[in-house]
Every structure is written in C-alpha cells, then in structure tokens.
Amino acid sequence: MKNLQKKEKNLNQLIEKLNNLNVSYSQFGFDNKSLEKENNLIKLEKEKLIRKNEEFIREHKYLSERVKKLENELKNKKEVEKKFSEDINDLNQETQSLVDEIEKWQM
C-alpha cells in the first residue's frame, strides 16, 4: 500500500514537472502533444495500477475470510473428535464395569 502511495506521489510530481516543462519549454519548440500523450499514458497506467491494487485487496479479503472459515471448521472438527474420543472412553469404562459385574455374578 505504501508502495502504491509512493508511486502515486511520484506520478503526481512527474505530472507537475511535465506541466512546468510544457510551459517553460514551449518557447523552444518542444512538442507539447508528445508530452501530453506521455502524461495521458502515465495517468492510464496509474488507473490500471489502482484497479489492480483494488483487485488484490478484494482477493486478500476473500482469502482471509476463507482461511478464518477453514480454521473454524477445523476447530469444530477437533471438538467433535475430542467429544467422540471421550464418549468412546466412557463406553469402554462402562463396558468394563459391566464385564466386571457379570464376572462377579458368575462366580
């Protein structure tokens, strides 16, 4: 983001310099149209970079949300797995207790 702001600042400074050059060098017969053309090209590139940056920002936001969603799913699955393991342990203990009771009554 800082890089984009720096480029924008540099572009604005360049545009201002070009505008100053147009005024100061017009008396020397420089082609103002080519400078305006270059200025327009720079503006178009700036707009293109801004759109690309906005696209990257949207993509980053989407991916960040997706990562959070996946982390939550993983957390939920781990909780379910933990609960399942606890239930299995409880059933094992209950089964062992029942087996002990059966053995006790068979004696």
pLDDT one-digit tens code per residue, 44-100: 999 999 999 999 999 999 999 999 999 999 999 999 999 999 999 999 999 998 888
- Residues 35/22, Cβ–Cβ less than 8 Å: yes
- Would the pTM of this model clear 0.85, i.e. be above it? no
Q: Can you read off the two tokens belonging to residue 18? A: 């070009």
Overall domain count for the chain: 1
Query: Cα–Cα distance between 61 and 52 in angstroms, integer?
Result: 14
What is the per-residue pLDDT for 2? 74
More confident residue, 7 or 31: 7
Domain that holds residue 86: 2-106
Average pLDDT over residues 14-35: 67
More confident residue, 10 or 94: 94
Tell me if residue 26 falls in helix, strand or coil. Answer: helix
